[in-house]
């Protein structure tokens, strides 16, 4: 079958201060056995050798396009930039320290081509330190909208595979707008995908999530947008944007999401209060006394 009979797949790769990971990343991308894909890379104004190494590893491979930002535009906007520059029918993000089996694109592009109602498809996923290779997100999102909402909120913190799934670019483009950075902005993408339609899960390939990416570098906070204060992060802005994306939903589904968001924020407030109270020695001693008191019963 000729190359142009396969839908073009775009892989968006936002990078920052990732010189040590570039070689393995490019080799992994080049190893994909799908015959028609492009890779859009955006270097978020790194100060190390990231950009030079990218050009060296890519050489004359026409499937790759590399952009370098003149200033740091923030992590979220760097992700959105590669989406905007992509030209494929299907799109997936690839973090600099994540790797996929060579048939990952082939398997998931086939699933989307076969299932026209589905908005995205992903394979079994696990972290690189997981020697048992047990999936971190292995339940179905192919049911009705209500069941998909329940599935997402039952394990939102493990929903990385949804964000890094292969999705229809036409769907992503509808809600991909540059905004200020906020906690769990990627969850909002996941939720909106889930609301748009079924998401396929398959076990015919695998994706390995790394632990050495930009969020692990010492000056990670400089990679975030100005105005984003990581110490003051909470789920309020995620909740507001999530509710905005619920316009047009039936009342039962809207109420279901609202309930999950209220629980999420109450839990976050409790954690923040507890964390701040424990900073004061007298309060800490008082709480320990209360805990010990209750243990006597």
CATH number of 3-222+231-244: 3.30.1490.20, 3.90.550.10, 2.120.10.30, 3.30.413.10?
3.90.550.10
pLDDT at 253: 94
Q: What is the pTM of this model?
A: 0.84
With a pLDDT cut of 90, the percent of the chain lying above it is: 60
Average pLDDT score over residue span 11-31: 95
User: Which range in 2-16, 249-263, 280-294 is most confidently predicted, on average pLDDT?
Assistant: 249-263
Mean pLDDT of all residues belonging to the chain: 84
Q: How far apart are the first and last CA of the chain?
A: 73
- Give the contacts of 223 (CB within 8 A, at least 6 positions apart): 16, 17, 44, 72, 74, 75, 214, 215, 217
57-97 per-position pLDDT tens digit: 998 899 999 999 999 999 999 999 999 999 999 999 999 99
Q: Are 210 and 99 in contact (CB under 8 A)?
A: yes
Closest CA to 138 of 198, 203, 194, 94: 203
Average pLDDT score over residue span 29-34: 96
Sign for the CA dihedral angle at 211, 216, 222, 226 comes to positive
pLDDT at 1: 47
* Domain chopping of the chain, boundaries: 3-222+231-244, 251-295
| Confidence at 245, pLDDT banded by 50, 70, 90 | confident
94-146 per-position pLDDT tens digit: 999 999 999 999 999 999 999 999 999 999 888 877 656 666 666 679 999 99
């Amino acid at each position: 079958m000729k190359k142009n009979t396969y839908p073009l797949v775009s892989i968006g790769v936002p990078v920052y201060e990732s010189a040590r990971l570039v070689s393995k990343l490019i080799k992994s991308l080049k190893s994909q056995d799908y015959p028609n894909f492009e890779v859009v890379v955006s270097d978020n104004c790194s100060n190390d050798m990231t950009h030079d190494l990218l050009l060296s590893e890519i050489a004359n491979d026409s499937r790759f396009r590399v952009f370098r930002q003149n200033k740091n535009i923030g992590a979220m906007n760097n992700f959105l930039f590669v989406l905007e520059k992509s030209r494929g029918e299907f799109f997936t993000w690839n973090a600099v320290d994540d790797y996929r089996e060579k048939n990952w694109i082939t398997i998931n592009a086939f699933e989307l081509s076969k299932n026209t109602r589905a908005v995205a498809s992903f394979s079994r996923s696990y972290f690189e330190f997981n020697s048992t290779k047990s999936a971190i997100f292995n339940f179905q999102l192919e049911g009705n909208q209500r069941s998909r909402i329940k599935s997402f909120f039952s394990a939102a913190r493990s929903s990385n595979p949804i964000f890094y799934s292969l999705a229809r670019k036409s769907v992503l483009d509808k809600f991909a707008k540059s905004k200020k950075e906020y906690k769990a902005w990627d969850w909002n993408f996941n939720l909106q995908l889930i609301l748009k339609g079924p998401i396929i899960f398959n076990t015919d390939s695998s994706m390995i999530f790394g632990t050495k990416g930009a969020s692990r570098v010492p000056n990670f906070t400089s990679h975030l947008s100005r105005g984003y204060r990581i110490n003051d992060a909470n789920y309020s802005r995620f909740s507001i944007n999530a509710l905005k994306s619920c316009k047009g939903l039936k009342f039962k589904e809207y109420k279901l999401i609202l309930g999950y968001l209220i629980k999420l924020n109450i839990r976050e407030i409790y954690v923040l209060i507890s964390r701040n109270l424990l900073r004061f020695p007298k309060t800490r001693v008082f709480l320990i006394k209360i805990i010990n008191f209750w243990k006597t019963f």
